[in-house]
């Protein structure tokens, strides 16, 4: 949050960025209602660990600071607590906008190394392959997404937790739980991806 | 309550087969006693939780809930019920969005068409706590209590997504406030326990950030534990699978990092109900599935 804005001299502005966010991010059009009161940033449980709180991020979007916005850790540190959403006096769906920015940051190649991006990749793999989240497999894939050594290190750091969950029957071991109609589910997701790509490319449905 | 059980299509969610089997087990155990019939949603899939949109994209993530809603519609007109905060948030949120946004409904149905499915957007998706508050009522809980949890001090920790952002909306059942909800305290008291004063009722446990990078969020969980300890609570009670796991499993790491000595059991409200209803401590209340066990509650439970 309290971080200073980046140096102005070398900064590139994309004056169409705000319009792009309004048009392409879910709930983005409502961002136009933001009056910079800061209730969102003040309500955020983890705002102190964000490069910029939501209020400042929204101002940066309006200023056209595309690079800085899409490279920010703000959306990756959002815990989806929805406190900003229920408190915003202008009904701006802040959490949803951050989620949309996260999706676009990944698409546009700004975020592949972020924890959440790597976790999300493992998560979606499980959702798409099995139709369900196998928490153990997703966590393991996430741990090892930074490489073998990092994976082993993370695994060992949380070994005690894993063992306690196994002991209490809360870490599923063995073949992942699956939906019966995986073919149907995957066809739906592929079709949805296809529609979204079509919409993003500007062709109307 | 009306005569005979009220039927629901029950969406247990992925955590019911992993980290929150004790929520699923205890909820299924107490439901009939509360007059609720839970018929499992056939071949349900993941809701996308808090991160599905990131890699999957917005529409595919929405389509996950779309498939569950279409499946539920095939199963009957009864309301969908879920005990999981994230499942509720996504399924209810998508459902309400599809109801209002005709273009989105058409798009989701185009995707569902790939598996010969469709959804007319005429169902309601409800959180188990809201159903217990609005359809069951505290008196009905009290009537079922045969083994009051006398002397058990409970810190009611609601967490975020159970009440935010839908808790105080018309479609969300208008059942409690965002910042100071009372329902969990009322559940505990109806079960004969003492609900202690506990400020961080809807504080955040860090959600999936705690799963990925606990170093960023251990201090948030510590605040919740601090308040429970200050109130001299025997147990923390919560409705949320992720809150339960996060607040429970990281206590050792918090103790190591902050020099504290937390060892506070974190239970689901439905586990408390199962014990208070005189049900089996293991088979129904699943008390053996907590990594930090409550000797006090286990001492009260039927063996």
Confidence band for A174, pLDDT divided at 50, 70 and 90:
confident
Contact at CB, B291 and A120, closer than 8 angstroms? no
Q: Does B285 reside within a domain?
A: yes
Query: What average pLDDT is seen over chain A?
Result: 91
SS (HEC) of chain B? CCCCCEEEEECCCHHHHCCCHHHHHHHHHHCHHHCEEEEECCCCCCCCCCCHHHHHCHHHHHHHHHHHHHHHHHHCCCCEEECCHHHHHHHHHHHHHHHHCHHHHHHHHHHHHHHCCCCCCCCCEEEHHHHHHHHHCHHHHHHHCCCCCCCCEEEECCCCCCCCCCCCCCCCCCCCCCCCCCHHHHHHHHCCCEECCCCCCCCCCCHHHHHHCHHHCHHHHHHHHHHHHHCCCCEEEECCHHHHHHHHHCHHHHHHHHCCCCCCCEEEHHHHHHHHCCCECCCCCCHHHCCCCCHHHHHHCEC
- Stronger pLDDT, A1 or A69, i.e. the higher one: A69
Helix, strand, coil percent values for chain A (each to nearest 5): 60, 0, 40
Q: Does B142 reside within a domain?
A: no
Q: What is the pLDDT of residue B150?
A: 97
Paired tokens of A59: 């101002």
The answer to whether B77 and B34 are in contact (CB under 8 A) is no
Query: Is it the case that residue A205 has pLDDT exceeding 50?
Result: no
Q: What is the pLDDT of residue A172?
A: 87
Cα–Cα distance between B23 and A150 in angstroms, integer? 33
How many distinct structural domains can be found in chain B? 2
Query: Is it the case that residue B91 has pLDDT exceeding 90?
Result: yes
Query: Is it the case that residue B34 has pLDDT exceeding 90?
Result: yes
Global pTM value? 0.94
Nearest residue in chain B measured CA to CA from A164: B291
Contact at CB, A79 and B207, closer than 8 angstroms? yes
CA distance A33 to chain B (A): 19
Which domains occur in chain A, in start order?
17-107 (1.10.1060.10), 115-200 (no CATH)
User: What's the maximum distance between 2 C-alpha atoms anywhere in chain A?
Assistant: 58
Q: Is the peptide bond before B232 cis (omega within 30 degrees of 0)?
A: no
Question: Taking residues B39-44, what's their average pLDDT?
Answer: 98
Q: Which member of B52, B66, B289 has the closest CB to residue A170? A: B289
Query: Is it the case that residue B270 has pLDDT exceeding 90?
Result: yes
Q: Does B138 reside within a domain?
A: no
Q: What is the pLDDT of residue B303?
A: 78
Taking residue B70's Cβ as centre, other Cβ atoms within 10 Å add up to 22
Q: What is the pLDDT of residue A100?
A: 93
CATH number of B46's domain: 1.20.1050.140
B105 contact A CB<8A: no
**Do B116 and B167 fall into the same domain?**
no
Q: Domain of B265? A: 147-297
The answer to whether B251 and B262 are in contact (CB under 8 A) is yes
Contact at CB, B48 and A127, closer than 8 angstroms? yes
Query: Is it the case that residue A173 has pLDDT exceeding 90?
Result: no
Cα–Cα distance between A106 and A161 in angstroms, integer? 30
Confidence band for A12, pLDDT divided at 50, 70 and 90:
confident
Q: What is the pLDDT of residue A200?
A: 81
CATH number of B244's domain: 3.40.50.11810
Query: Is it the case that residue B41 has pLDDT exceeding 60?
Result: yes
pLDDT digit string (tens) for A191-201?
A: 999 999 998 88
Contact at CB, A192 and B59, closer than 8 angstroms? yes
Buried b (16+ CB within 10 A) or exposed e, A87-115: bbeeebbbbbbbbbbbbbbbeeebbeebb
**Do B269 and B173 fall into the same domain?**
yes
Q: What is the pLDDT of residue A204?
A: 42
Q: What is the pLDDT of residue A186?
A: 97
Q: Which of residues 137-156 of A touch B (CB under 8 A)?
A: 139, 142
Query: How much is the ipTM here?
Result: 0.94
Contact at CB, A165 and B291, closer than 8 angstroms? yes
**Do B240 and B206 fall into the same domain?**
yes
Q: Phi and psi (nearest 5°) for B237?
A: -115, 140
Size of interface A-B (CB pairs under 8 A): 211
Query: Is it the case that residue A158 has pLDDT exceeding 50?
Result: yes
pLDDT digit string (tens) for A26-67?
A: 899 999 999 999 999 999 999 999 999 999 999 999 999 999
């Amino acid at each position: 949050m309290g971080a200073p804005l980046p140096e102005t001299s070398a900064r590139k502005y994309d004056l169409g960025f705000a319009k792009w966010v309004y048009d392409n991010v879910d709930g983005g059009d409502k961002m136009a209602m933001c009056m910079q009161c800061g209730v969102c940033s003040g309500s955020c449980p983890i705002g102190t660990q964000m490069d910029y709180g939501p209020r400042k991020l929204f101002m940066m979007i309006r200023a056209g600071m595309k690079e800085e916005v899409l490279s920010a850790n703000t959306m990756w540190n959002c815990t989806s607590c929805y406190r900003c959403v229920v408190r915003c006096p202008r009904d701006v769906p802040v959490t949803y906008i951050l989620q949309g920015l996260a999706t676009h940051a990944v698409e546009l190649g700004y975020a592949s190394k972020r924890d959440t991006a790597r976790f999300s990749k493992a998560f979606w793999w499980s959702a798409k392959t099995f139709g369900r989240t196998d928490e153990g497999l997703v966590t393991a894939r996430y741990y090892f997404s930074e490489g073998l050594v990092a994976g082993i290190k993370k695994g060992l750091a949380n070994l005690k937790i894993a063992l306690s969950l196994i002991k209490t029957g809360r870490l599923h071991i063995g073949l992942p739980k699956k939906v019966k109609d995986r073919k149907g589910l995957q066809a739906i997701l592929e079709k949805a991806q296809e529609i979204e790509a079509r919409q993003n490319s500007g062709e109307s449905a | 309550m009306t005569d005979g059980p009220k039927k629901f299509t029950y969406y247990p969610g992925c955590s019911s087969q992993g980290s929150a089997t004790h929520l699923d087990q205890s909820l299924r155990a107490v439901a009939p006693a509360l007059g609720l019939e839970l018929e499992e949603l056939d071949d349900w899939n993941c809701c996308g939780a808090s991160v599905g949109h990131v890699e999957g994209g917005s529409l595919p993530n929405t389509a996950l809930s779309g498939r569950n809603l279409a499946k539920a519609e095939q199963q009957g007109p009864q309301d969908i019920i879920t005990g999981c905060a994230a499942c509720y948030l996504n399924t209810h949120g998508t459902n309400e969005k599809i109801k209002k946004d005709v273009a989105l409904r058409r798009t989701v149905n185009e995707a569902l068409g790939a598996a010969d499915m469709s959804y007319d957007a005429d169902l309601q998706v409800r959180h188990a706590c809201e159903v217990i508050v609005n359809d069951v009522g505290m008196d009905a809980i009290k009537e079922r209590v045969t083994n009051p949890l006398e002397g058990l001090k409970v810190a009611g920790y609601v967490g975020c997504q159970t009440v935010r952002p839908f808790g105080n909306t018309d479609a969300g059942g208008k059942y409690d406030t965002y910042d100071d909800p009372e329902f969990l305290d009322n559940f505990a008291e109806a079960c004969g326990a003492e609900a202690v004063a506990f400020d961080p009722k809807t504080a955040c446990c860090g959600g999936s950030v705690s799963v990925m990078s606990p170093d960023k969020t251990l201090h948030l969980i510590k605040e919740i534990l601090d308040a429970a300890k200050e109130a001299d609570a025997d147990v923390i009670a919560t409705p949320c699978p992720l809150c339960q796991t996060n607040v429970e499993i990281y206590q050792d790491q918090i103790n190591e990092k902050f020099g504290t000595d937390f060892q506070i059991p974190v239970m689901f409200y439905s586990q408390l109900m199962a014990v208070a209803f005189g049900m089996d401590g293991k088979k129904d209340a699943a008390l053996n599935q907590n990594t930090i066990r409550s000797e006090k509650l286990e001492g009260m439970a039927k063996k």
